[in-house]
Amino acid sequence: MSGYIGRFAPSPTGPLHAGSMVAALASWLDAKAHQGTWIVRIEDLDQDRCVKGIDQFILQQLTKCQLLSTEPVQWQSKRVRGYESAFETLNELNLIYPCHCTRAKILSELLGNGGQLTRNQSKIYPGTCRSLEFKDHEDLHIQGAAWRFKVTPGPLVWEDRRLGIQHQDVSAEVGDFIIKRSDCVWAYQLSVVVDDAQSKITHIVRGADLVDNTARQIQLQKALGYPVPKYLHTQLLLGPNGEKLSKQNGAAPANTSHPLECLNTAAQTLGLQMQSSSVSEALAFWSEQWLERYP
Ligand code: GLU
């Protein structure tokens, strides 16, 4: 075993579809190519969006494709202590604050500056609650509040193994983002960073739809003193309308009764030139392209 530890982190909001199989296969291939560990983590914190029993269905889909977690499967719902402790650390560092802003309030604040907003601009948090003072956790204002992370201004530069150098000014493009929701659910940005650090993940391989989250996650990793893993964001499998496949737009479950076909579609999306549909061929192609001699 090398020091490589990777992971696949599906949300159990529906079965894996052909697009999620791409991320599953890529992260598995990268771990195998580096003779590393591959952990499956079920991201089930948002209970309202999770579908009962789908976690087991996802694990069956992976098993049928022989994509097997090297370590015991993790469920985020059983790991909240880690998020609480990271929250306490950020609070001690004065890097988070409670916020009661509704979406409507944020929009009116942004529009107050005049003019029209693009879709991306309308998602930026203008920092309204950042300067409000709260005495302690018992303060009435804190009840029912969301908690936001104070982002560092200026461009953050990081390198994606496939996409190359990436830049994002989180402060200008996103603003202070939520790490704990007002309904007390731990937000994806915090939970993913804490779990990756606790599991000592060295390499994150996931779909390019998540690339925009990476600068936020690196800011949190730095604030919490965690190492920054290496990132590779894969190609996305697009539907007939050119849109990314997703559970929201009704993508069909991956048909894992035909595992080789399923893996072959995923391998093609990853640009692996397969002659026959075999996992060992996919692994050989992946290694040729992505094996790092000194990961
Ligand atoms: N749970 C996320 C999803 O299903 C993936 C998180 C990640 O890989 O960072 O989209």
Reported as a single tens digit per residue, the pLDDT across 154-193 is 999 999 999 999 999 999 999 999 999 999 999 999 999 9
Pocket of ligand 1 (CB under 6 A): 9-11, 43, 192, 206, 210
Per the CB < 8 A criterion, the answer to whether 58 and 9 are in contact is: no
Q: Which residue in the block uniquely carries the two structure tokens 């015991």?
A: 72
Measured distance CA(58)–CA(10) in Å, rounded: 8
pLDDT surpassing 70 at residue 71: yes
Task: For residue 157, give the nearest of 87, 218, 82 by alpha carbon.
Answer: 218
Task: Tell me the domain boundaries of the chain.
Answer: 5-79+199-290, 81-180
Per the CB < 8 A criterion, the answer to whether 274 and 281 are in contact is: yes
Average of per-residue pLDDT across 60-64: 97
Pick the CATH number of 81-180 from 3.90.79.10, 3.90.800.10, 3.10.580.10, 1.10.1060.10: 3.90.800.10
CATH number, domain 5-79+199-290: 3.40.50.620
Reported as a single tens digit per residue, the pLDDT across 115-131 is 677 777 778 999 999 98
How much is the pLDDT for 19?
A: 95
CA of 192 to the centre of ligand 1 (A): 8
The separation between CA 12 and the C-alpha centre of its own chain, rounded to angstroms, equals: 14
CA of 9 to the centre of ligand 1 (A): 5
Measured distance CA(139)–CA(263) in Å, rounded: 53
Measured distance CA(27)–CA(210) in Å, rounded: 14
Q: What's the pTM?
A: 0.93
Probe target for ligand 1 pocket from 43, 75, 193, with the most ligand atoms within 8 Å of CB: 43
Phi, psi for residue 230 in degrees, rounded to 5: -85, 150
Measured distance CA(34)–CA(294) in Å, rounded: 9
Token couple for 172: 């200008």
Asked whether the CA dihedral 275, 279, 284, 289 is positive or negative, the reply is positive
